[in-house]
Structure 1
Amino acid sequence: MPSKSEHIPRATIQRLAVYVQVLENLIRDNTDVISSEHLARICSVNPSQIRKDLAYFGEFGVRGVGYYVQDLNSSIKKALGVDRTWNCALVGVGNLGRALLRHKVFKQRGFNIVGAFDCDPFKIGEVISGLEVICSRRLSEKVEEMNIEVGIITTPPERAQRAANYLIDAQVKGIICFAPTRITVPESLHVEYVDFFHHFYNVAFNITLSDNLSNS
C-alpha cells in the first residue's frame, strides 16, 4: 500500500523548504518555541496551511504552546531527506559552475559538491575551491569512487544533454539542471530544473499588472 508521503503535493515540498529556512534562522536567534500564527506570518502562509503541510508526516506542536523550533526543524529535514549529506558532482565549469563551486551554503545545507567535471581540455586540471576539474568522461569512475548521488548541470544548453548522458551512464540518482533547456533521462531518474528567468518573468508580469490596474 502506498504511503501517505508518496502523495505529497509539489507545492507542499516547496513550502517545507521555506519552513526549514525560517526555522534555522530562528535557531540562530535562540528561539526555542514559536506559535503556529507567528511561524505562519514569517513564512507568508496561514496557520492552517502549515498544519496541513505538517500533517503529511505526523503530529507536531503542543496545544497552547506552539512548536518546539529545534524538534520541528529536525523532523522536517528528516522528512525531506536532508538530515544527511548528499555528495554531488557538478558538470560544466563555466561562470555559473565556478560560482556554485565557491558557494559555501551548499555544504552547509547538506549538499556537498565533491567533484567538478568539464570536457574543455583548458579547464581540466584547474583547481577551483579545492577541487580539481576532471574530464567528464571519467564521471562513471568518479561517481562510484566518491559516492556521488546527485548531478548538477551548469553547461550551456547545447551541451546539457551530453552532460546528462554522462551522469546517466554514471548512475546518479538525481539531476539538478541549471542549463536553460530540457534534458531526456530515464523515468526512474529525478530531475529538477532551475531557471532564474522564470522569477524575472514573474516579477515583470506582476509589475506590469499592477501598473495596468493603477492606470485603468
Structure 2
Amino acid sequence: MDGKSKIPNPTARRLSLYFRELGDRRALDEKATMSSRQLGTALGYSDAQVRKDLTFVGQLGHPGVGYSVATLHDNLRRILGRDRSWNAALVGAGNIGRALLSYRRFDEQKFHITRVFDSNPRTIGTTIDQRVIRDVASIKEELVDCDIELGIIAVPAEHAQPVAEKLIEAGVGGILNFAPRRIEVPSTVVLSNVDFTLTLEQLAFQVNLCSTISHEEDDS
C-alpha cells in the first residue's frame, strides 16, 4: 500500500517518528537491522502497532532478522516526501514568525522558508536573516513561479482565514497554521494546526488529573 492520502494522520505522525529513530540508528551502523519490538520500545509503542503502521510502507521485514534499517529508512523518506526539498512561504513576521525563521533545523531538513510576508508598514521592506519582508497583499503576485508548495500562518486569529485564502489562491497545497483559530480550506489543501495555548491547556489538565488522583489515593 503506497498511497499517501490513504495513511491516517496518527499513523503518519508515527511514521515520522520511526523515520527519525531509524535515521539515528543508521548513522551509527549503515548495515544495522531492527525488530518491530526494538523500534516500538524506543518510541513507546507496541510491536504490533509498529508492524501495522509499516504495512503502509510496504516493508514487512524478515522473521528472526527484523527490518533493514537503511532500507526502511529510505522507504519512509520516500513515503514522507523527505527525499526532496520543500519551499515555504511564511505569513506573519511577529514573535512566532521570527522564531520560525531563526530555527536552523528547517533548512537542515530541506524545509526552506523562501518568502516572508507581513501587513505592518513598519516591517514591510525590512529583512530578517537575509529575507526581505513583503506586503501580505502581494502574496499571489510574489508566489508566481516560485515553486512554493507550503504556507505557514503566524498571524493574529482574526487574519488567519483571509491569509489562508490568499495562500490557496496562490497555489499553496499545504498550510501549517499557528493562529489560534479554526480555518476552512478546500479538500485539495492539507491543513495542520498548532495551537500552543490548547497544548498547554491539555498538559495542565493531565497534570491536574494526576494530582487529583494522587490526592485521592493518599486520602484512601
| TM-score, length basis structure 1 | 0.91
Work out whether residues 92 and 118 of structure 2, in 8 Å CA contact, stay in contact via their aligned partners in 1: yes
Work out whether residues 92 and 117 of structure 1, in 8 Å CA contact, stay in contact via their aligned partners in 2: yes
Residues 14-53 of structure 1 correspond to what in structure 2 (within 5 A)?
Answer: 14-30=13-29, 32-53=32-53
Distance of aligned partners of 1:26 and 1:59 in 2 relative to their CA distance in 1, 3 Å threshold: closer
Q: Which moved more, 1:54-63 or 1:42-51?
A: 54-63
- Structure 2 residue runs without a partner (length 5+): none
Residues 158-169 of structure 1 correspond to what in structure 2 (within 5 A)?
Answer: 158-169=158-169
Cα distance in 2 for partners of 1:70, 1:59 equals 12
Residues 90-101 of structure 1 correspond to what in structure 2 (within 5 A)?
Answer: 90-101=90-101
Structure 2 match to 1:11: 10
Q: How many residues align?
A: 215
Aligned to 1:60, what secondary structure does the other structure show? coil
Structure 2 match to 1:202: 202
Cα distance in 2 for partners of 1:3, 1:71 equals 15
Structure 1 match to 2:61: 61
Distance of aligned partners of 1:176 and 1:39 in 2 relative to their CA distance in 1, 3 Å threshold: same
Cα distance in 2 for partners of 1:102, 1:130 equals 11
- Structure 1 residue runs without a partner (length 5+): none
Work out whether residues 2 and 79 of structure 2, in 8 Å CA contact, stay in contact via their aligned partners in 1: no
Distance of aligned partners of 1:101 and 1:57 in 2 relative to their CA distance in 1, 3 Å threshold: same
Aligned to 1:187, what secondary structure does the other structure show? coil
Work out whether residues 85 and 111 of structure 1, in 8 Å CA contact, stay in contact via their aligned partners in 2: yes
Work out whether residues 125 and 134 of structure 2, in 8 Å CA contact, stay in contact via their aligned partners in 1: yes
Q: Counterpart amino acid of 1:29?
A: L
Q: Counterpart amino acid of 2:11?
A: T
Q: In the alignment, is residue 131 of structure 1 matched against residue 113 of structure 2?
A: no
Distance of aligned partners of 1:7 and 1:211 in 2 relative to their CA distance in 1, 3 Å threshold: same
Work out whether residues 139 and 166 of structure 1, in 8 Å CA contact, stay in contact via their aligned partners in 2: yes
Deviations 1:59-85 (A, max 9, x none): 332322222222211111211222211
Residues 115-194 of structure 1 correspond to what in structure 2 (within 5 A)?
Answer: 115-194=115-194
Work out whether residues 89 and 115 of structure 1, in 8 Å CA contact, stay in contact via their aligned partners in 2: yes
Cα distance in 1 for partners of 2:60, 2:103 equals 33
Q: How many angstroms does 1:138 deviate by?
A: 1.9
Work out whether residues 2 and 58 of structure 2, in 8 Å CA contact, stay in contact via their aligned partners in 1: no
Aligned to 1:152, what secondary structure does the other structure show? strand
Deviations 1:39-64 (A, max 9, x none): 11111101111110011221332322
Q: How many angstroms does 1:4 deviate by?
A: 6.0
Aligned to 2:164, what secondary structure does the other structure show? helix
| TM-score, length basis structure 2 | 0.90
Cα distance in 2 for partners of 1:116, 1:4 equals 32
Cα distance in 2 for partners of 1:36, 1:168 equals 40
Q: Which moved more, 1:50-59 or 1:66-75?
A: 66-75
Cα distance in 2 for partners of 1:153, 1:188 equals 18
Cα distance in 1 for partners of 2:3, 2:140 equals 35
